[in-house]
Structure 1
Amino acid sequence: MGHRTTRRLLGALLAVSAAGLSATACGSAAHDGDGPTGPEDVKSALEKGGKVTVWAWEPTLKKVAADFEKKYPDVDVELVDAGTGDKQYTALQNAIAAGDGAPDVAQIEYYALGQFAIGKTVEDLSPYGALTHAKSFTSGPWHAVHQDEGIFALPLDSGPMALFYNKKVFDKHGVKVPTTWDEYVKAARALHRADPRIFITNDTGDAGATTSLIWQAGGRPYHSRGTDVSIDFGDEGTKKYTATWQRLLDEKLVAPISSWSDAWYKGLADGSIATLSIGAWMPANLTSGVPSASGDWRVAPLPQWTKGDTTSAENGGSSLAVPKAAKNKELAYAFTEFATTGTGATGRVTEGAFPATRADLESKAFLDKPFPYFGGQQANRIFAESARNVSEDWTYLPFQVHANSIFHDTAGEAYASRSGLADGLDAWKDACAAYGNDQGFTVNR
């Protein structure tokens, strides 16, 4: 799901040749004709039965697999944990390149999906019936599974952003919960002045967090059509983010602690890290990773760049895709559809997943669910509102996995030196452009 969005892909960007890349530039990555003639083929595959191998790390898919096998007794679902994020992507790329061992279904995060779509290593699911679900999902995840005219996965979960804050700390020091990013800076100053051990948040340079906040601010640094790519961190939205975050860095109001580290968990537990701006998948991580702070934390809407706005963005989230190398694509699609829509999706929500489906986000049971960790707060109401307010026109680079992997060594230098964040983003842009051009893309900057 949304854990550790900065991940390293060890290996080549695409499991296709440069010639294969060039072929995608001639038009959209539409279905190439080797799949079904329509949804009837999916129905026939279910009647025939067979085996579906699914590579995924999401634990709620265990219930989905059991329910699918119960509904279709002639189908056997084999769940394989091939690693989380980049580890699985590397294994998947290697299997595709070798022409052997690829799964029928693969879990792929939204930021990583583009490289598989442009490399034509995953199926366009439109001919299988995916277009019938256009209204089933919230706008952010649905937009994320598109590449040109194709639909290359179905949304599994989502990560609409919210502000997680330590109410105990804010109340103790009489600081109001910020509703804008300007108020956030003021709150950071007030908390740190009241107790120098308290920082408004932590950050040592995280690509996922940075791009999500740029997204919310209205920045759109990435544009691509086939192999033509542009990168520009000079737009007004990105400038809003860099100006605000630079103030926090200059005034040393951000803890120099990496997320998911032992020090990070300790800071969340003792209140020295007072807030997190992160995806709606975070509650389970707080409950399991910071149990001693149960009752201290609450959830609020993400601060706004303009007072009165309600704009949000996604942070994390993943999809299910069908590799071109799948042995039974129709049966693979059937499982993918079952897992991401209808009773399959609802069952995953019951198990603790955060939904990408409108029906589940709007259900009374979901909205009214109390969170003991947050003092009984109905936090899903805030998450659902955030999901409705995600701007849907965001796009990632078709080589975002590599881009994220070099963020710390480029833009991240701004956190450890006197260089500015804007300069750091420019360095990131230059490194990404060099890599993209070397891989066969045409990158403008």
Structure 2
Amino acid sequence: MTKPVALWNKTHPDVQVKFQAITSNFFPKLRAALTGKSGAPDITQVDYPNLTSTIVAGNLKDVTAETRDLKGEFAPAVWDQVVVDGKVYGVPQDIGTQVLYYRSDLFEKAGLAAPATWDAYREAAATLKKKYPKAYTTALPANGGIWLASLAWNAKAKWFTTDGGAWNVGLDDGPTEKVAAYWQSMLDKGYVKGDQHWQPTWFKGLARSTYLTWIGPAWGSSALKKNAPGLAGKWAIAPLPQWSRGERAPVYWGGSLTALTSATKKTGTALKFVKWLNTSTESAKLLAADVLPASERGQRVPALTRPDPYFGGQVPGEVFTVRGTASTPWTWGPTMTDTTNYLNDAMQSALNKSTTLPEAVRKVDRETVAQLKRKGLSVR
């Protein structure tokens, strides 16, 4: 955000933006600022999984009317990320399309192509285990609550829906049970190994060929480059496997929107900056150094449309930008931080073999329903 803000301030002397980075306890600090007598920000960044809870807390402004002209700047599946219960609460900034990173060199030696379906992925896992017995197809993350959510989404699950002002919770629905059973099977067969994303041992596993694939977001490509520089040209990117051949509905892990806070009295000028930040080519060129810009224009900047030597000359943007397919409707829950913590604990329990993943998600469903009720929310 630092560079885009600096460019805006240089080129728009009439409207100056002051940027403050919050590196910890972001949402409690935001809430405290908004309920205080002064110091509340006009604009805030919010990650998509925490959008609903931030709305429920009363922290964001409904900008449905003010953003009607922006919808066409984004793919429908991307624009859906800022819509909750039919209302728009911000403008998409970046998007974390889920993809399959895989060791193309070792796949080729094993006679394998990038799997297009989850059945093919499991078959590839069996072949890879025979060919490379000390390696694992991927890490099953103990801190993977949002990761698991994206894979349930990929299977057309619907964890949260609203009906007449009440919440329906479905973490134990059929698609989620299918996903949980699939990964339990992969764990039982020894194809995957428990680990924690973003921790030193996991990074070493990627760099030392312990893990031969990673189901990760578009913004994760920089993590591979930084932590496994010696494997340049040996990693490739493929679309996320699907449950039915021929499908390619996008799902996302993370990404963020830029929203107006409920405290702002500068709606017009704030939106002027927000629109420029998230739809201009000038801003997108700066954002693309670290994330995948959400706008259609932003996804056409040179950084995303030229071959990348690290990925064997592939053009990453061609995989990251999923066009022409509709995303399965998905709403993040109103207590997503708690649900994510429940999921993380449940996944750790499954890795410790004190439960199974299907049993774990059923438990998280019950815990989530109880938490919504404790928050005073209506649950059907």
For the residues of structure 2 that align with 1:100 and 1:202, how far apart are their CA atoms?
46
Of 15, 20, 26 in structure 2, the residue corresponding to residue 88 of structure 1 is 26
Of 134, 142, 158 in structure 1, the residue corresponding to residue 95 of structure 2 is 158
Equivalent residue number for residue 414 of structure 1: 350
Aligned residue runs from structure 1 range 2-401, under 5 A: 61-83=1-23, 87-127=25-65, 129-205=66-142, 206-225=144-163, 228-326=166-264, 328-361=266-299, 363=300, 365=302, 368-384=305-321, 386=322, 388-389=324-325, 391-401=327-337
* Amino acid corresponding to residue 106 of structure 1 in structure 2: T
Equivalent residue number for residue 431 of structure 1: 367
Question: How far did residue 434 of structure 1 move?
Answer: 1.0
Q: TM-score, normalised to structure 2's length?
A: 0.93
1:135 partner SS: helix
Flag the 1:250–1:418 CA change in 2: closer, same or farther, 3 A.
Answer: farther
Question: Unaligned stretches of 5+ in structure 1?
Answer: 1-60
Question: How far did residue 78 of structure 1 move?
Answer: 1.6
Identity level (%) = 27
Q: Is the 8 A contact 1:313 1:390 kept in 2?
A: no
For the residues of structure 2 that align with 1:389 and 1:355, how far apart are their CA atoms?
19
* Amino acid corresponding to residue 180 of structure 1 in structure 2: T
* Amino acid corresponding to residue 109 of structure 2 in structure 1: K
Question: How far did residue 221 of structure 1 move?
Answer: 2.1
For the residues of structure 2 that align with 1:341 and 1:185, how far apart are their CA atoms?
40
Flag the 1:76–1:337 CA change in 2: closer, same or farther, 3 A.
Answer: same
Equivalent residue number for residue 29 of structure 1: none
* Amino acid corresponding to residue 157 of structure 2 in structure 1: G
Q: Is the 8 A contact 2:281 2:301 kept in 1?
A: no
Q: Deviations over 1:193-235 (max 9, x none)?
A: 2222211110133111111011111111211257511112343
Q: Is the 8 A contact 1:232 1:429 kept in 2?
A: yes
Q: Is the 8 A contact 1:212 1:315 kept in 2?
A: yes
For the residues of structure 1 that align with 2:341 and 2:54, how far apart are their CA atoms?
17
Task: Kindly tell me the number of residue pairs found equivalent between the two proteins.
Answer: 379
Question: How far did residue 436 of structure 1 move?
Answer: 0.8
For the residues of structure 2 that align with 1:157 and 1:95, how far apart are their CA atoms?
25
Question: How far did residue 366 of structure 1 move?
Answer: 5.7
Q: Deviations over 1:323-360 (max 9, x none)?
A: 11235333222211111112354333553431211233
Equivalent residue number for residue 37 of structure 1: none
For the residues of structure 2 that align with 1:120 and 1:276, how far apart are their CA atoms?
37
1:185 partner SS: helix
For the residues of structure 1 that align with 2:306 and 2:160, how far apart are their CA atoms?
37
For the residues of structure 2 that align with 1:398 and 1:140, how far apart are their CA atoms?
20
Equivalent residue number for residue 14 of structure 1: none
Q: TM-score, normalised to structure 1's length?
A: 0.80
For the residues of structure 1 that align with 2:326 and 2:253, how far apart are their CA atoms?
10
2:115 partner SS: coil
1:144 partner SS: helix
Q: Is the 8 A contact 1:148 1:225 kept in 2?
A: no
For the residues of structure 2 that align with 1:195 and 1:149, how far apart are their CA atoms?
49
Q: Is the 8 A contact 1:64 1:347 kept in 2?
A: no
For the residues of structure 1 that align with 2:285 and 2:366, how far apart are their CA atoms?
44
Question: Unaligned stretches of 5+ in structure 2?
Answer: none
For the residues of structure 2 that align with 1:360 and 1:156, how far apart are their CA atoms?
9
* Amino acid corresponding to residue 76 of structure 1 in structure 2: Q
RMSD of aligned Cα (Å) = 2.0
1:183 partner SS: helix
Question: How far did residue 387 of structure 1 move?
Answer: 5.2
Question: How far did residue 418 of structure 1 move?
Answer: 4.7
Question: How far did residue 76 of structure 1 move?
Answer: 2.3
Q: Is the 8 A contact 1:140 1:314 kept in 2?
A: no
Question: How far did residue 292 of structure 1 move?
Answer: 1.9
